[in-house]
Amino acid sequence: MARTANDTLDLNVRPPAGRVRARPALVVDEHTVEIVSDSGEGAQKCGQSFGSIAARMGLGIWTVEIIPAEIQPPARSIEGASGNRIRLASRRVTNGGDEADLVVAFNDQVMLRRAREGELKPGGTVLLENKWKDHPDPAIAAMYRDAVEEMKRGGYDVREVPLEVECLKLVDDPHRGKNMFVLGMLCHIYSLDIDIARDQVAYIFRKKSDAVVQANHDLLQAGYAWAADHLDLHFKVPPSAMKEAQIVVNGNVAVGMGVVASGMEVCAMYPITPATSASHYLSEIFGNVGGVVHQAEDEIAACAFAIGASYAGKCAVTITSGPGFSLKQELLGLAVMAETPLVVVDVMRGGPSTGLPTKTEQSDLLFACFGGHGDAPKVVMAAADIEDCFYSVITARKIAETFNTVVVVLTDANLASAQQPFPRPRLDPAWHCPPFDQTPVPEGALPYDWDATTGIARRFIPGQPGGMHTLTGLAHNRKSCVAYDSAANVEGVRHRSLKLAALQKSLKAPTLHGAEEGDLLVVGWGSTRGAIEEAIDRLCAKGHRVASMHLKFIQPMAGGIREAMARFRQVITIENNWSDPPDTGLIDADNRRYSELATLLRARFLVDVDCWSEVKGQPLKPGTVERVVLQKLNAEETQP
Amino acid sequence: MSESLPHCLLDLADDDYTIEDYQSAVPRWCVGCGDHGVLTAVQRLCRDERLPPEKTVFVSGIGCSSRFPHYLKTYGFHGLHGRALPVAQGIKIKRPDLHVFVIMGDGDCCSIGTAHWIHALRYNMNMTAIVLDNGIYGLTKKQASPTSPRGQISNTTPYGSRLDPLNPIDVTLGVGNASFVAQSVDWIPDLTHDIIQAGFRHKGFAFIRILQRCPEYMGHRYDDWVQHPERMLLLKHENGIHIGADLGRIYRNQQEHDPADRNRAREIAAVSDPIPVGILYRNERVPCYEDEQVPDTLNTPERVKSYLEAEFDKFTVEPPAAQATTRAGAPG
């Protein structure tokens, strides 16, 4: 690393130790920081690095990307805000938290955006680039003044910071490098180790020249020193008690790692936000373990390619998002019908149609379960956090190959780009499925010899002597011959359906988080687990008798759910999708549309499950869950 | 040596296949359907090339012609309308040991699956694709297809099709990545066999269009050409198809055509009467996608473990136990 060569210089730019000591850091349990800029100014890199440095110091973190849909949205625009939110805590963090305590804004408009969306804590601190104040364009200068005024009226503590002026002392183009200056500032504000920060910066620019690394180190140090000299903001979030080594990645990288760990060899995909970065990661590494990423001509071809590879004995995955998932449906029906194992990862985003491509939503659940034509029983499971993204893919492959069927793994835009440390996996050879048994097929063995109890049939693949048959999407009998007669059709449909029951018998009952029985049970699925459980913890601490239950398997659903729901006076699902608010305007009991999991629970268990949901495109906040639960509890109390 | 000899003999015997080794169910195509002849030509090819049935996969879409795999005693994949090509690519990508054939109709290839056709040419994976082009939708009972002639009466064009047909050979030659392009007709089975054989032996994606009669819905479309052999143009070349003496006596209209000459191929393809038959274009130097894209590395549990451990190292943060003790006294 360039580190050694620069050791001397390093010492020269270190901030005077005395000044740092002059302001003792305020110890806090947790803090949430946002860095927002126009797209392309490096706020995301700054935020991710900040999170990584904090994680390396043992803090619990959760980072959330703030992403505009365009590559280059108009500069200084309200809608163009791009950046990162980092929640730091002295414990394991499971979600992005509530409002931010501190915001670094590269211009006044992106600052306004976050404030107006209610993402900043009332009275919170903003460090705002002040170069716009005296901008030659009077309109811009006026916008700046108005924005600062609006913020101050709103009770925010706005600190105007000469980011550009300071950076120009070190570099010619402050557009490239302001983010590292800010990173230095934040390292000082949060008492992060500057040496670890230097390592991180060197890592980010590892593919660049020593001169680039040096320039960024200088900016980092300068920001650190500037904050020490000019800001009275100084916090320390003590490290968590984590003892194990942790991996810090986002959900899409975790999916990619899961694909490798599962022993899959083929990933076929077509670019789509927010799923693609999983394939980016795989494209970079897959070849090292003999894997192939195929970028197909379209979503349909990607799915067909994966089915072909799986049929030939190389279990494959296709990774997509809602619109692509829609296009694949006909082929998923084929895979179900032909009983070809297949793993599909759907990184959900706001819909329908192109919807909110960069934002999170949980609206594909019913579609994943029932999307295809005909009776096409698929396994549907959802990842609850970053770690779960990794393990879900491994489990999905196991199920796909054991039951010869399609397994859909649902993640979402929130998990895709959020980072959270999780214990470094201890690789287990059993995750890697054994090679396909290609011994000659015994005389008389049939390609669809369905087991009467489980519905499972042994599969033959090309290359296996004696197993020759033609797989078909048409109704077929045990010999895989096209069969249109009623008996053969009923037999096929029944056995394919039976496999879900067989899987269901092997699933563990979901556990309760919070009270064992009581007034209200919150049921959730997918990426909302952290926020829901944190809210339940807060409510239990206040003496409420509430709990949450998180479903990993949606289709089939594990046993024990009915019993768990029965132990609470009320049940509500909280989800990131649409439901009509009850008894408003035209909405009544006969036409209310329930959110997706609530619909499933009501249908299956005949329990009057209520729901609350939102489609803001933002990760669910624990504070929101807390408020919803309290409202529900209070509403019940006020009823006669 | 003495031990291995019987083994050798056994292998030799095993490698000897007969047509019956590739015959499965009795075809249910209509009497007089051109598919029958192509099926026989393909079964002959399998026998002549000694293709182990378990190592051979026929992938098809949906339509009359796509029933093809059911009539062969090899592995078969009778999938979705239009999607035979990407399925076949998936099969081939990690299984170079398999001989992969794709059977499509004109609806499959030239209508619902057109995107896959163009990109299959681009990928140039080593497989043989045969389009059984009868110019009509048969299975769904007579609708115009993209290759139906102008004026074609059908259930969706009761007043006659108002579009000129798409010429699949012309289109294929227009894709710069194409590496093998040939055309045949179902009523000259020997030639069809030879052309499919050349396609099979070609390293890369062989695209073969076979004009094929549909006695039910397009009964007389090719009568003039069947009855007047001079309206067929046979392409011959030392690097292309050899035309035997018997065939040559019937089909006297022959032309020397070097399959390396792409421009000439386009000129020939642009003419639909006489119907050109033979190898229009061949280029053995086009790289195959699987050779470029698939790494040599084997996917083994050991390899995955060692690689992933190294990958985890990149993203691992150690809890700062050691650092924490040294820094515990720092102001804060």
Close Cβ partners of B304 (under 8 Å, ≥ 6 residues apart) = A260, A261, A263, A289, A427, A432
Domain assignment present for B144: yes
d(C-alpha A421, C-alpha A387), whole Å: 8
pLDDT at residue B330 tops 60: no
User: What pLDDT band is residue A4 in, cutting at 50, 70 and 90?
Assistant: very low
Its pTM stands at 0.93
Question: Which pair of tokens denotes residue A296?
Answer: 């197909």
Tell me if A311 sits within 8 A of B84, measured CB to CB: no
Interface test with B, best of A206, A433, A470, A472 (most B CBs within 10 A): A470
Question: Which pair of tokens denotes residue A56?
Answer: 């390396």
Residue A301 with chain B: CB contacts under 8 Å: 83, 85-86, 115-116, 119
Domain assignment present for B213: yes
Average pLDDT over residues B291-316: 95
Q: Over pLDDT 90: what percentage of chain A?
A: 88
Tell me if B73 sits within 8 A of B92, measured CB to CB: no
Query: Which run of H or of E encompasses B254?
Result: strand B254-256
Long-range CB contact pairs, B313-318, < 8 A, 24+: B315/A247, B315/A248, B315/A249, B315/A253, B316/A245, B316/A246, B316/A247, B316/A248, B316/A424, B317/A52, B317/A55, B317/A56, B317/A58, B317/A245, B317/A246, B317/A247, B317/A248, B317/A421, B318/A56, B318/A245
Q: Residue B98: which of A52, A247, A463 has the nearest Cβ?
A: A463
pLDDT at residue B9, rounded to an integer: 53
Residue B92 with chain A: CB contacts under 8 Å: 308, 312
Q: Residue B86: which of A253, A304, A470 has the nearest Cβ?
A: A304
The verdict on a CB contact (< 8 Å) between B319 and A297 is no
Chain A's closest residue to B84, CA to CA, is: A304
Task: Please provide the CATH number assigned to the domain covering A247-431.
Answer: 3.40.50.970
Count how many domains chain B has.
Answer: 1
DSSP string for B299-326: --HHHHHHHHHHHHHHHEE---HHHHHH
Which ipTM value was assigned to this complex?
Answer: 0.94
Question: Which pair of tokens denotes residue B168?
Answer: 């699949």
pLDDT at residue A177 tops 90: no
**Residues spanned by the domain of B253:** 13-291
Nearest to A437 by CA among A468, A460, A406, A419: A460
d(C-alpha B121, C-alpha A294), whole Å: 15
Residue A57 with chain B: CB contacts under 8 Å: 320, 323
Averaged pLDDT of chain A:
93
The verdict on a CB contact (< 8 Å) between B301 and A432 is yes
Tell me if B195 sits within 8 A of B185, measured CB to CB: no
Q: Which residue has the tokens 């040294």?
A: B326
Q: For residue range A519-560, list pLDDT tens digits in order.
A: 999 999 999 999 999 999 999 999 999 999 999 999 999 999
Q: Residue A289: which of B25, B87, B297 has the nearest Cβ?
A: B297
pLDDT at residue A1 tops 80: no
d(C-alpha A424, C-alpha A431), whole Å: 15
Q: Which residue has the tokens 């916008």?
A: A143
Q: For residue range B65-94, list pLDDT tens digits in order.
A: 999 999 999 999 999 999 999 999 999 999
Tell me if B271 sits within 8 A of B253, measured CB to CB: no
pLDDT at residue A2, rounded to an integer: 37
Amino acid at B177: N
Tell me if A412 sits within 8 A of A360, measured CB to CB: yes
pLDDT at residue B329 tops 50: no
CATH superfamily of A4-236: Pyruvate-ferredoxin oxidoreductase, PFOR, domain III (3.40.920.10)
Q: For residue range A620-640, list pLDDT tens digits in order.
A: 999 999 999 999 999 977 765
User: What pLDDT band is residue A238 in, cutting at 50, 70 and 90?
Assistant: very high
Q: For residue range A361-379, list pLDDT tens digits in order.
A: 999 999 999 999 999 999 9
Whether the ω angle into residue A462 lies within 30 degrees of 0, i.e. cis, is no
> CB-based contact (8 Å) between B299 and chain A?
yes
Tell me if B145 sits within 8 A of B217, measured CB to CB: no
In a 3-state reduction of DSSP, which class is residue A460?
coil
**What is chain A's alpha carbon radius of gyration, rounded to the nearest angstrom?**
27
Domain assignment present for B326: no
Domain assignment present for B320: no
Strands A82-89 and A30-37: antiparallel
Q: Residue A58: which of B78, B85, B319 has the nearest Cβ?
A: B319
Alpha-helix runs per DSSP H in A231-379 = 251-261, 276-285, 299-311, 322-327, 329-338, 365-370
User: What pLDDT band is residue B11 in, cutting at 50, 70 and 90?
Assistant: low
Close Cβ partners of B300 (under 8 Å, ≥ 6 residues apart) = A290
pLDDT at residue A39 tops 90: no
Establish whether domains A4-236 and A247-431 are of one fold: no
Close Cβ partners of B235 (under 8 Å, ≥ 6 residues apart) = B241, B254, B255, B257, B268, B276, B277, B278, B279, B280
Domain assignment present for B312: no
pLDDT at residue A14, rounded to an integer: 43
According to DSSP, the residues that pair with A161 across neighbouring strands are: A129
d(C-alpha A116, C-alpha A391), whole Å: 38
Domain assignment present for B267: yes
Q: For residue range B222-276, list pLDDT tens digits in order.
A: 999 999 999 999 999 999 999 999 999 999 999 999 999 999 999 999 998 999 9
Q: Residue B312: which of A316, A331, A424 has the nearest Cβ?
A: A424
Residue ranges of E strands in A111-230: 120-129, 157-161
Chain B's closest residue to A479, CA to CA, is: B70
Residue A306 with chain B: CB contacts under 8 Å: 90
Task: Measure CA of the first residue to CA of the last residue in chain A; give whole Å.
Answer: 71
Tell me if A531 sits within 8 A of A619, measured CB to CB: yes
Query: Which run of H or of E encompasses B88?
Result: helix B84-93
Nearest to A369 by CA among A407, A398, A337, A342: A407
**Is it true that domain A512-638 has CATH number 3.30.565.10?**
no
pLDDT at residue B8 tops 70: no
What is the CATH number for B154? 3.40.50.970
Close Cβ partners of B20 (under 8 Å, ≥ 6 residues apart) = none
Chain B's closest residue to A26, CA to CA, is: B332
pLDDT at residue A60 tops 70: yes
User: What pLDDT band is residue B328 in, cutting at 50, 70 and 90?
Assistant: very low
Domain assignment present for B183: yes
A/B interface, count of CB pairs below 8 Å: 227
Q: Where are the domains of chain A?
A: 4-236, 247-431, 438-506, 512-638
Of the ranges A74-78, A488-492, A515-519, B164-168, which one carries the lowest mean pLDDT score?
A74-78
- Looking at CA atoms only, how far is residue B303 from chain A in angstroms? 6
pLDDT at residue A191 tops 50: yes
Please state the three-class secondary structure of B175-234 as a single string.
CCCCCEEEEEECCCHHHHHHHHHHHHHCCCEEEEEEECCCCCCCCCCCHHHHHCHHHEEE
> CB-based contact (8 Å) between B28 and chain A?
no
Give me the phi and psi of A479, to 5 degrees please: -85, 0
Q: For residue range A250-281, list pLDDT tens digits in order.
A: 999 999 999 999 999 999 999 999 999 999 99
d(C-alpha A482, C-alpha A476), whole Å: 4
Q: Residue A247: which of B62, B119, B316 has the nearest Cβ?
A: B316
Q: For residue range A440-453, list pLDDT tens digits in order.
A: 999 999 999 999 99
**Chain B, 66-95: which have a CB under 8 Å from a chain A CB?**
69-70, 72-80, 83, 85-95
